[in-house]
Amino acid sequence: MFTERTVEGIEDMSLPIADAVNTPYEDPLDLMDEIEQLKVEQDATILAHYYVDGEIQDIADFTGDSLKLARDATQTESSTIVFCGVHFMAESAKILSPEKRVLLPDLQAGCSLAESCPPDALRMRQEQLRAEGHEFDTVAYINTSAAVKSLCDWIVTSGNAREIIDRIPQDREILFVPDEHLGRYLNEVTGRNMMLWPGSCMVHEIFSLQDLQRTKKKNPESQIIAHPECPRNILEVADFVGGTEKMRTHVTSITSPTTFLVATEANMIHPLEKAAPQHTFVPVPGIMTSTGETCACNRCPHMARNTLTSVRNCLKHGKPEITWQPWFDDARDVLVRSLLK
Ligand code: SF4
């Protein structure tokens, strides 16, 4: 049986009490200088996901989506990787680069989507389906814990999902976990009828169609670009659907200045603006609250745990660290087969 993420896979995350409780204001420029110095002392490379704050993306050696970063991690020569993202991403980096020390700035940086599919619940569902006579492959989106990956046949990202699903014989059933919206979208584009797990991302779930349409009315010439983790009602009105790397490629392929309404985590606008400064990017707001205000739900609270202070602290103290767990071996086989071959 797998135990909780907060216990397994992590060495003691607690920082010295002085750091954790009384955190005085620190000048961001001083913090950046300190991080640069610690990087050299600790022989470290910083990887940052597109959903963390722009100031962290700016000090990173590599930025990208989770697939690109997992691959980048295997290419770095330094002995330490600081993964500015969430827990499952740092796990994947460790699994693909077992010889490296992998640090995650804040252990509480989880993922609502990954947590919607606990490994024991998945195992029970698989056993139930087998008992009912189903013959199936389990395909997991990369936003899953290593314990879940170890129970799966394939790992996909929004970038390679179609290709991997097409590899599975048509007469074989597929159980897709954990994102129901992405699974439904993939069923539409591949023509399969995958069995879906009822999971979703708290950020992409919440986009307001009403506000999106209102923003579109104000910007009639704009293009709506949406992540496939968004619900169907958002994808139906989108001009372009794709993961974060595909979004980047899409906006850079358009030369004339265009306004894009962006339905994904709002920090994604930072790399889009850097890649294609000729355009205007407008974040799509979350659902209206009862008071009539739009919420700030298009920011991922887990990604927001990555701050300059937490990056500096983890470099300084060498923790929290992702350590090798027994199920990482099986997870590695699936990850390598799916993403590196
Ligand atoms: S944006 Fe959603 S899927 Fe991505 S890390 Fe946050 S909760 Fe998880």
Q: How far is the CA of 202 from the centre of ligand 1 (A)?
A: 7
Q: How far is the CA of 133 from the centre of ligand 1 (A)?
A: 34
The CA-CA-CA angle for residues 193, 199, 203, to 5°, reads: 120
Q: How far is the CA of 69 from the centre of ligand 1 (A)?
A: 15
Please tell me if the CB atom of residue 300 comes closer than 6 angstroms to any atom of ligand 1.
Answer: yes
103: Cβ contacts below 8 Å, ≥ 6 apart: 44, 80, 81, 82, 83, 90, 314, 315, 318, 319, 320, 321, 322
CATH 3.40.50.10800 fits 204-283, yes or no: yes
Q: What is the pLDDT of residue 292?
A: 44
Q: What is the pLDDT of residue 297?
A: 63
On the question of a common fold for 17-109+302-325 and 204-283, the answer reads yes
Q: Which atom, in ligand 1's list, is nearest to the CA of 264? A: 1
Residues of the chain whose pLDDT is less than 50?
1, 3-19, 288-293
pLDDT tens-digit map of 314-323: 999 999 999 9
Instruction: Sort strands 321-322 and 101-103 into parallel, antiparallel or unpaired.
Output: antiparallel
22: Cβ contacts below 8 Å, ≥ 6 apart: none
Domain-by-domain residue ranges, the chain?
17-109+302-325, 114-196, 204-283
Query: Distance between CA atoms of 287 and 290, rounded to whole angstroms?
Result: 10
146: Cβ contacts below 8 Å, ≥ 6 apart: 9, 88, 91, 92, 95, 325, 327, 328, 331
CATH 2.60.120.10 fits 17-109+302-325, yes or no: no
Q: How far is the CA of 135 from the centre of ligand 1 (A)?
A: 31
Q: Name the closest-CA residue to atom 5, ligand 1.
A: 111
Q: In what order do the strands lie in the sheet with 136-141?
A: 154-156, 136-141, 173-177, 195-196
Q: Name the closest-CA residue to atom 6, ligand 1.
A: 300
Q: What is the pLDDT of residue 289?
A: 45
CB atoms within 10 A of CB 270: 20
CATH code that applies to domain 114-196: 3.40.50.10800
Q: Name the closest-CA residue to atom 1, ligand 1.
A: 300
Please tell me if the CB atom of residue 225 comes closer than 6 angstroms to any atom of ligand 1.
Answer: no
Please tell me if the CB atom of residue 60 comes closer than 6 angstroms to any atom of ligand 1.
Answer: no
9: Cβ contacts below 8 Å, ≥ 6 apart: 91, 146, 322, 323, 325
Please tell me if the CB atom of residue 67 comes closer than 6 angstroms to any atom of ligand 1.
Answer: no
Please tell me if the CB atom of residue 57 comes closer than 6 angstroms to any atom of ligand 1.
Answer: no
Please tell me if the CB atom of residue 297 comes closer than 6 angstroms to any atom of ligand 1.
Answer: no
Q: What is the pLDDT of residue 21?
A: 56
pLDDT tens-digit map of 189-211: 999 999 999 999 888 888 778 88
Q: How far is the CA of 113 from the centre of ligand 1 (A)?
A: 6
CB atoms within 10 A of CB 121: 14
Own/partner long-range contacts of 307-311 (Cβ < 8 Å, ≥24 apart): 307/53, 307/56, 307/105, 307/106, 308/26, 308/28, 308/31, 308/32, 308/35, 308/55, 308/56, 308/59, 309/23, 309/26, 309/31, 310/105, 310/106, 311/35, 311/46, 311/56, 311/59, 311/82, 311/84, 311/105
User: Packing angle between helix 87-96 and helix 328-335, nearest 10 degrees?
Assistant: 80
pTM of structure: 0.88
Please tell me if the CB atom of residue 263 comes closer than 6 angstroms to any atom of ligand 1.
Answer: no
Cβ atoms 264, 241 nearer than 8 A: no
Q: Please report, as a single letter, which amino acid is at residue 51.
A: Y
Q: Which of 67, 106, 115, 143 to mutate to test the pocket of ligand 1 (most atoms within 8 A of CB)?
A: 143
Q: Name the closest-CA residue to atom 8, ligand 1.
A: 111
Query: Distance between CA atoms of 340 and 28, rounded to whole angstroms?
Result: 37
Query: Distance between CA atoms of 171 and 56, rounded to whole angstroms?
Result: 46
